[in-house]
Amino acid sequence: MNISHVKTTDFTDQKPGTSGLRKAVSVFQQAHYLENFVQAIFSTIGPVTGQTLILGGDGRFYNREAIQIIIKMACASKYSRILVGQGGLLSTPAASCVIRKHQANGGIILSASHNPGGPNGDFGIKYNINNGGPAPEQITNAMYTYSKNISSYNIADIPDIDIDTLGNQRIGHTDIITIDPVADYAEQMSQLFDFEKIRKLFAGGFRLCFDAMHAINGPYAKEIFIDQLGAPAETLMNCTPLPDFGQGHPDPNLTYAADLVKVMNAADAPDFGAASDGDGDRNMVLGQNFFVTPSDSLAILAANATLAPGYADGIKGIARSMPTSQAADRVAAALGIPCFETPTGWKFFGNLLDADKVTLCGEESFGTGSNHIREKDGLWAVLFWLNILAERQESVEQIVTSHWQQYGRNVYSRHDYEEVESDSAERLMSNIKKQFDTLPGQRFGHYTIAFSDDFAYTDPIDNSISRQQGIRIGFTDGSRIVFRLSGTGTKGATLRVYLEQFEDQAEKQQQDAQAALSELIQIAEQLAEIKKHTGRDQPTVIT
């Protein structure tokens, strides 16, 4: 096997965000662009001689081409084994599962998550370490540093590998093993949840509508819901993975999963609706004409965890991202377990999970997961809900409203302003920070500000510090407004505004969230001057 040492020059924009490096497809198609970053991965985590690499992606446009490049570079780096998902496919949670099961050195996941795909869409690449979770900041920072000084990369001069046929191919000292992308993951789910009870639920006429949004979870849903749990074929919606996601936006929320929302709001709606995103790690759950916020979903899963076999002994603790509502905190307090508040980004949960401090984790951005892997997990969340529904024999709405009656309701919403001009978004955030010294004690309508800060997190395990993780405006009654610029987009900036207030009076818990939060929405505009800085009268997405 001949190895080429290809001369290259650095790119200045290869700093990974909260979920790896994401750019437009056209950026990754530049000569040497992908190769440079892959070499930065291998050189930073190396030496990798004799190690095992897991490789796969969400099937978006350019996935197959990138897989071939990475295989050739991994062979040149002398990996002993490369386990690649058949067809180049592997959901993000399945990749984490496979890394852990096969004790791999780590894995490369090709995805831009919930961002659109296709020739004019986005592409992404991230490295997950040997615990199955995203590489921590010290590693991604080292990759970025290497990328800025790179002068060459190594690649094997070999033909493209057959990634569509299961089995082993040996190239030099490397075994390239094409694996079933679903098998290991499906086996793990059957160990966590009561599949027999869920089968009986479907056999009794219970109806699920699952929308894979033409993304990676289609094959996983077919294997688990149809083949193993016996749900009827009409359970599945948009379950054929497509490189452009059917020209849709594979983000499971009320705006982009409109097909599912329409089904669930119809007079003859199924009992339960769910959707997942581009790489399969996010979820949305719905009842009949009833939306469950991700924050409430995390709290309800925690409160009912012992109903699932994999969590029958109880949970050690809960972790939530800072912008996620405090509903989970109330459950943790009732259970007498800790609840950790971390920055946004699943990698911040890794140390807590590895130290056995927490069992369940969640983010308001439609991500929920547990210690079974080190990623959020869309299908896992749906199966957890199905297990609870099978045990309690109540509707989604009944379970949620009962939860509110017991713990109170954290009325919550997120307003997204997508593709805002970056400089304008930064000015908006800067102007809020300039008010910090004078905001505490100020009264806005019925609300008085208790504190304002830019959230910083000290990891309780390794004492690393992450600063500037989002602006918090806290009120004396426990209500909150949070402003944050998201790092998951590739065009401009996404301004996210999070609004939350607590309601313990049962007669008020059923009110519409936007109506209940209307005064906080006005205060957010007053504090941030959103319309002035963004030019927008309304958010792009409201969840």
Alpha-carbon span 302 to 321, nearest angstrom:
15
Tokens 């800067």: give the residue: 430
Q: Give the Cβ contact number of residue 480 at 10 Å.
A: 23
CB 322 within 8 A of CB 470: yes
Closest among 61, 57, 74 to 181, alpha carbons compared: 57
Are residue 9 and residue 152 in the same domain, yes or no? yes
How confident is the model at residue 79, as a pLDDT?
98
Range of the domain at 372: 185-407
Are residue 433 and residue 493 in the same domain, yes or no? yes
Alpha-carbon span 385 to 357, nearest angstrom:
23
How confident is the model at residue 272, as a pLDDT?
98
Are residue 234 and residue 94 in the same domain, yes or no? no
Q: What is the dihedral of CA 141, 145, 151, 152, to 10 degrees?
A: -20
Buried b (16+ CB within 10 A) or exposed e, 347-360: bbbbbbbeeebbbb
DSSP 338-382: -EEEE-SSGGGGHHHHHTTS-SEEEETTTEEEETTSSS--HHHHH
Phi, psi of 297 (to 5 degrees): -60, -45
Of residues 43, 77, 111, 113, which has the active-site annotation? 113
How confident is the model at residue 487, as a pLDDT?
59
Indicate the residue type of 229.
L
| Domain final residue, candidates 407, 436, 466 | 407
Q: What is the DSSP letter of 17?
A: B
Are residue 449 and residue 519 in the same domain, yes or no? yes
Phi, psi of 210 (to 5 degrees): -115, 125
As a residue count, the chain comes to 543
- CATH number of the domain to which 124 belongs: 3.40.120.10
Alpha-carbon span 250 to 406, nearest angstrom:
34
- CATH number of the domain to which 531 belongs: 3.30.310.50
Are residue 246 and residue 381 in the same domain, yes or no? yes
pLDDT by position in tens, the chain (length 543): 899 999 999 999 999 987 899 999 999 999 999 999 999 999 999 899 999 999 999 999 999 999 999 999 999 999 999 999 999 999 999 999 999 999 999 999 999 999 999 999 999 999 999 999 999 889 999 999 999 999 999 999 999 999 999 999 999 999 999 999 999 999 999 999 999 999 999 999 999 999 999 999 999 999 999 999 999 999 999 999 999 999 999 999 999 999 999 999 999 999 999 999 999 999 999 999 999 999 999 999 999 999 999 999 999 999 999 999 999 999 999 999 999 999 998 889 999 999 999 999 999 999 999 999 999 999 999 999 999 999 999 999 999 999 999 999 999 999 999 999 999 999 999 999 999 999 999 999 999 999 999 999 999 999 999 999 999 999 999 999 999 998 555 678 999 999 999 999 988 999 999 999 999 999 999 999 999 999 999 999 898
Alpha-carbon span 72 to 171, nearest angstrom:
9
Q: What is the DSSP letter of 277?
A: -
Are residue 238 and residue 94 in the same domain, yes or no? no
Closest among 22, 223, 181, 222 to 88, alpha carbons compared: 181
Bridge partners of 417, per DSSP, are 495
Are residue 424 and residue 438 in the same domain, yes or no? yes
Bridge partners of 428, per DSSP, are none
Q: What is the DSSP letter of 134?
A: B
Are residue 357 and residue 417 in the same domain, yes or no? no
Alpha-carbon span 247 to 262, nearest angstrom:
19
Could you tell me the sign of the dihedral formed by the alpha carbons of 356, 357, 360, 361, in that order?
negative
* Helices of type H across 29-107: 33-45, 63-76, 92-101
Are residue 234 and residue 109 in the same domain, yes or no? no
> Token pair of 262, please?
């329409």
The separation between the first and the last C-alpha atoms of the chain, rounded to the nearest angstrom, is 53
CB 511 within 8 A of CB 535: no
Count structural domains, the chain: 3
Are residue 139 and residue 205 in the same domain, yes or no? no
113 as an active site residue: the answer is yes
| Domain final residue, candidates 181, 210, 242 | 181
Tokens 């080190």: give the residue: 374
| Domain final residue, candidates 407, 426, 457 | 407
Crossing angle between the packed helical segments 92-101 and 378-392, to the nearest 10 degrees:
90
How confident is the model at residue 299, as a pLDDT?
98
> Token pair of 347, please?
């990698």
Are residue 423 and residue 396 in the same domain, yes or no? no
Give the helix/strand (H/E) hosting 443.
strand 443-444
Contacts of 517 (CB under 8 A, 6+ apart): 411, 413, 499, 500, 501
Are residue 164 and residue 248 in the same domain, yes or no? no
How confident is the model at residue 543, as a pLDDT?
87
